Structure 1
Amino acid sequence: MLFTIALIAAVLALAYHFYIKIFFYWERKGVPCEKPLPVIGNMKGIGSKYHFRNINQQIYDQFKGKSSFAGMYMFFRRTAMITDLDLIKQVMIKDFNYFQDRGAFNNPRDDPLTGHLFALEGDEWRSMRHKLSPVFTSGKMKQMTGVIVDVGHRLANTMDKLVKVSKVDDGNVEIKDLCARFTTDVIGSCAFGLECDSLQDPNAEFRQKGREIFTKRRYPQSVQAFVFTNPKLAKLLRMKILPDEITKFFMSAVKNTVDYRLKNGIKRNDFIDQLIQLRAEDQEAAKSGKGIDLSKGLTLEQMAAQSFVFFVAGFETSSSTMSFCLYELAMQPDIQQRVRDEIENVLAEVEGGELNYDSLAKMSYLDQVVAETLRKHPLLPHLIRECNREYKVPNTDIVLDKGVNALIPVHNIHHDPEIYPDPEKFDPSRFDPEEVKARHPMAYLPFGDGPRNCIGLRFGKVQAKVGLVSLLRRFKFTASNRTEVPLILSKKAFLLGTENGMYLRVEKI
């Protein structure tokens, strides 16, 4: 009996010590912070009542201007929300060597598709980034644009069919799903060399799996949030994030494509080809579980992980950008017509009027419209950088310890009225060259910045613009009886998305 009481007392004492050590961290440092709750920290209501952007907004509004950063707790994770743009520049660029890693969940041993470039850390990330960078040069983008334009023609033809059917429903077309089918076919072709046929068949296998990545969860929302905010602990517990059937599908798709190409000597100069060139026949370090040694190339699991993240990042982000852009253009027909006029004027000077990489680069107003879309609707609520050793915060006496997260609240910065007056207004003139020059460079971060910015940003922008040009040349978009004003945003998905799809009236020009 006495032993049991002593054991309970010891457990309670340890729990109390852990609680004090974690949840009084910022108070001990003298950093302003919002009072946390046990276990969940400042994550109360995440995924049900609030999204990350809502929780971040509370802290951003409370402490911005009072300190260059504020403390918060993402469950057990000590996190410094940076509200000062100069300090953001320090963290992301000047002092990058202190904040190289994203602190994202990765567990390649148990969940092989999580061992991708976005989540890799340290030397593994550096080596992989170096090896993959040649895939995303402007020269490679130029080569891929022809493939993307071909899929753009199929997008317009599919929209034509949907418009005919939609006449019985006030011309309503669900925009987001169609855009996702377009980007799925683009990525399928550019990354996997496969014809996914999503535009022809909305239930095509690649489209279904792409949808399931964001709708089919392994755990309840609260557990998912815990994994994302406490990745090292989750990895220690050998947790996975992806459902097994999704892992099996992508592993099989990559293996079959690689085997077929090697057997038949096929080369397409696409993403899979680049990975095949990087792979060696044997990699003892990876086999023995000693981590990722890229000096001899890639294992099949690593190839699948890179292909997976290219697919996920490429189809979801670009399709969301396209759909939010079309929504804003439907709300402001004058801006929509100006974009359409620019498209026609530029393509009138091209032989055959065919879109290509060079003509796309001349569409400066379209570029401003896409930039303003990403300003108002940034796909990530925030960026995370993990402190890899003690870091003295400039102009303070405060030292951040190893393992502390630095959080850059992208959505909240993009909606700060002191930076962007009337932030809910869609106004492409914010990206007139003189306006951009006058603004702090860290005030606009849809793709991050510094050495760890989005490697595929050039591909994503080209893909989204080709899709928009293909649609705006042939169709007019307006609000319908099913268009939400304002849009109801999902609280469950980490990436920005709508709760009920996105419906617009579409008419053939």
Structure 2
Amino acid sequence: MDFLVVLVSILTVALVFVLWIRKKHAFWKELGVPYVEPHFFYGNFKDVDQYQHDGQFIQRFYRKYKGRSPLIGMYTFLKPVAIAIDIELVKNILIKNFNSFHDHGTYYNEKDDPLSANLFNLPGTKWRQLRHKLKTAFTTGKVEMMFTTMWEVAKKFESKIGEACETGGEFHNRKLMTRFTVDVIGSCVLGVEANSLEDENNGFFQVGMSIFHNPRHGMRFIFLLNVFRDYARKLRFKLFRDEVIEFYTRIVRETVDYRLANHIERNDFMQLLIKLYTSKGEDKLSFNELLAQAFVFHIAGFETSSTTLQFCFYELACNPEIQDRVRNHIKEVLENHNGQLTYEALMDMKYLEQVLHETLRKYPPIGLLPREASQDYKIPNTKCVLKKGINVIVPAYAIHHDPEFYPNPSRFNPDNFSEEAVKNRPSVAFLPFGEGPRICIGARVGMMQTKMGVIAGLRKFRYTLSPRTKQPLKLLSKFNVIYPEEDVWLNVERID
């Protein structure tokens, strides 16, 4: 009899549990929103980081449901997630109704992992206050002051490409581009000489690369942390590995202490952070706040620019006529500026900008832009109300590959960003840096260093694909930042 009671009790609990799960997964059905049938436990993200890059994963559903509904419903484990399909809804979320979607809804733990409490992750008032403090670092004047420092590193980058010409005429695309951007951002953000171009075994390069290529958690676990943020903080989960936290804490602490002790000032991002750190007013930053912002601008600055350069040089190697056109364009603009690369000359290189925008269109650094409803929000022209706390995803990768906005989207075509083409397309159809008040604050710095990388790399050299590069190029599924799955090798020859 006791055994039967226990068995009935277990079956009853199991049944209640199953019914509870099914009730959770009935959320979108009850709202009358088209939805993707979820896995019992994982929801719709079971295969994320296994088979497809997350941007391509969502693209399948974007294509299927576009025109049928302004949004579709999915689930991260048990939590409902809305995927914005209609371009006007995307504009509302990012710009028009920003106050209803001002947070990313991502996990951070400022107590145990100070690096995670950065501008990207912080919500609401914390984000607004911090953004206000930091915006003066990215005015046109401040960005222009970084020009000389960036170009000095770019010339070293050019020399490294020249060395590759002399030692076999082939190089590993990712490593060289990342070494360049690590050195640029190290100088302009942290104010330190990383010297990755000279020594790829140094700490900046190795630790920086490990953040993305050897993360503490996989994508599915990151989704889990985002869903159960409060519980994760109580359990003291960290986003970054301990050695990463220790490395950046030491480097930033040494830099701050050295500058303060020796009264050293530089025209870089670190100087602004130090000024806020030593201030007495309401703009004052704690050391952990300074640390988190120095960290995020360093890793975001070098990694997104590095991937853009990698894909740009890959596409130029695949499209020699575009490569020749942009090289000739660079030379013509330089001739109009007495052969000197100045900030003004850089701004005049319109076709170079088109090439980089097309690279960012085809390979956006982040394929999905997360948002979280900060208040109840009624979807225009529907009866659907997104409740406060619902996560919303803007599928940037899918939008960038939508033939409505970009004819033949798999083709690399810089004319997609001619003045006329841009005018005839919704502004939110191009989202490499996000859009609206939460657009990437350092976008202009990233574009400037990327332009310099292309100029330094193209002026004197021509590129073709090495036979070691596998075609067609596939995207790595393990990370939300976009990478090629296989190593890309390029042949290079000197043409000056």
Aligned pair partner of 1:74 in 73, 76, 81: 76
Q: Hey, what does 2:33 align to over in structure 1?
A: 31
Partner of 2:458: 472
Preserved CA contact (<8 Å) 1:77 1:230: no
Shift of 1:50: 2.5
Matched, 1:143 2:141: no
Question: What pairs with 1:90-129 in structure 2 (closer than 5 Å)?
Answer: 90-129=92-131
Return closer, same or farther for 1:391/1:225 CA change in 2, 3 Å cut-off: closer
Q: Give the superposition deviation at 1:225.
A: 4.1
Alpha-carbon contact 1:53-1:381 (below 8 Å) kept: yes
Correspondence for 1:310 = 297
Evaluate the alpha carbon distance shift between residue 88 and residue 369 of structure 1 in structure 2; reply closer, same or farther with a 3 A threshold: same
Q: Which residue of 2 aligns with 1:258?
A: 256
In structure 2, relative to structure 1, the CA distance for the partners of 1:221 and 1:367 (3 Å cut) is closer
Note the alpha carbon deviations across 1:173-229, whole angstroms, 9 max, x for none: 111111100010011111111111000011111000111101222235532443355
**Aligned mates of 1:107, 1:14 — CA distance in 2:** 34
* Structure 2 equivalent of residue 392 of structure 1: 378
- Structural RMSD (CA): 1.9
3-state SS, counterpart of residue 482 of structure 2: coil
| Match in the other structure for 2:187 | 189
CA–CA separation in structure 2 for the residues paired with 1:207 and 1:343: 30
Of 304, 307, 311, 1:320 maps to: 307
State the distance in 1 between where 2:200 and 2:309 align: 18
| Superposition map of 1:43-54 within 5 A | 43-54=45-56
Contact 1:64–1:84 at 8 Å: present in 2 too? yes
1:7 Cα offset (Å): 6.9
1:187 alignment partner AA: I
Deviation at 1:473, TM superposition (A): 0.5
Query: What is residue 487 of structure 1 aligned with on the other side?
Result: 473
Could you tell me how far apart the structure 1 residues matched to 2:233 and 2:64 are?
33
Secondary structure of 1:384's counterpart equals strand
SS at match of 2:46: coil
Give SS of 2:315's match. helix
The within-5 A match list for 1:160-179 is 160-165=162-167, 167=168, 171-179=169-177
Correspondent of 1:501 among 471, 487, 496: 487
Provide closer, same or farther for how the CA distance between residues 228 and 156 of structure 1 changes in structure 2, counting only shifts above 3 A.
Answer: farther
Offset at residue 474 of structure 1 (A): 1.5
Deviates more, 1:51-60 or 1:96-105: 51-60
Letter of the 2:74 partner, please give it. Answer: M
CA contact (8 A) 1:172 1:482 kept: no
Distance 2:110 2:416 in 1: 42
AA in 1 matched with 2:321: D
Paired residues for 1:424-463 under 5 Å: 424-463=410-449
Instruction: Give the Cα separation in 2 of the matches to 1:463 and 1:399.
Output: 43
In structure 2, C-alpha distance between the alignment counterparts of 1:121 and 1:504, rounded to whole Å: 42
Amino acid at match of 2:185: I
Q: Indicate if the aligned counterparts of 2:52 and 2:475 stay in contact, CA closer than 8 A.
A: no
Residues 114, 317 of structure 1: alpha-carbon distance in 2 compared, 3 angstrom cutoff = same
Q: Are 2:100 and 1:84 equivalent residues in the alignment?
A: no
CA distance in 2, matches of 1:261, 1:10: 66
Q: 1:269 aligns with which of 257, 267, 270?
A: 267
Identify which range, 18-27 or 36-45, moves more after superposition: 18-27
Paired AA for residue 381 in structure 2: N
1:234-284 deviation line (CA, Å, top 9, x unaligned): 3344321211000000011111100111111000021111111112488xx
Q: Distance in 2 between matches of 1:91 and 1:6?
A: 49
d(CA) in 2 for partners of 1:492, 1:142: 36
Amino acid in the other structure paired with 1:371: H
Equivalent residues, number: 493
Q: Residue 15 of structure 1 is aligned with which of 8, 14, 17?
A: 17
The Cα shift of 1:37 comes to 0.9
Letter of the aligned partner of 1:329 in structure 2? Answer: L
Structure 2 letter corresponding to 1:175: N
C-alpha deviations, 1:315-334, integer Å up to 9, x for none? 00001111111111111111
CA distance in 1 between counterparts of 2:381 and 2:97 reads 14
Are residues 1:130 and 2:116 paired? Answer: no
Three-state SS of the structure 1 residue aligned to 2:47 is coil
Counterpart code for 1:196 = A
Counterparts in 2 of 1:437 and 1:236: CA distance versus 1, 3 Å:
farther
Match for 2:457: what amino acid?
A: L
Task: Look up the match of 1:368.
Answer: 354
Contact 2:52-2:476 at 8 Å conserved across structures: no
Asked if 1 retains the 8 angstrom alpha-carbon contact of 2:45 and 2:220, the reply is: no
* Alpha-carbon distance in structure 2 between the residues aligned to 1:396 and 1:506: 55
Q: Percent identity?
A: 42
Identify if the C-alpha distance between structure 1 residues 372 and 296 changes in structure 2 by more than 3 Å, giving closer, same or farther.
Answer: closer
What SS class does the counterpart of residue 452 from structure 2 fall into?
A: helix
User: Which amino acid in the other structure matches residue 458 of structure 1?
Assistant: R
Give yes or no for contact 1:158–1:199 (8 Å, CA) kept in 2: yes
**Aligned letter for 2:467?**
N
Alignment-mate amino acid for residue 488 of structure 2: M
Residue matched to 1:58: 60
Counterpart-to-counterpart distance in 2, 1:271 and 1:21: 50
Residues 326, 199 of structure 1: CA spacing in aligned structure 2 closer, same or farther, 3 A cutoff?
same
Would the alpha carbon gap of residues 455 and 401 (structure 1) be closer, same or farther in structure 2, given more than 3 Å must change? same
Counterpart of 1:279 in 2: which secondary structure?
Answer: helix
Tell me, what secondary structure is at the counterpart of 2:92?
Answer: helix
For residue 182 of structure 1, give the secondary structure of its aligned residue in structure 2: helix
Map Cα deviations across residues 142-185 of structure 1 (whole Å, 9 max, x no partner). 100110000000001111112211x2xxx321111111000100
Unaligned runs of 5+ in 2: none
Q: Which amino acid aligns with 1:314?
A: G
Structure 1 residues 236, 143: CA separation in 2 closer, same or farther (over 3 Å shift)?
Answer: same
d(CA) in 1 for partners of 2:230 and 2:68? 32
* 1:21 to partner: Cα distance: 4.0
| 1:348-396 Cα shifts (integer Å, max 9, x gaps) | 1224x22121110000000110011111111111101100111111111
Confirm or deny: 8 A CA contact 1:107 1:115 kept in the other structure: yes
Alpha carbons of structure 1 residues 162 and 225: separation in structure 2 relative to 1, 3 Å: farther
Judge conservation of contact 2:164–2:171 (CA < 8 Å) in 1.
yes
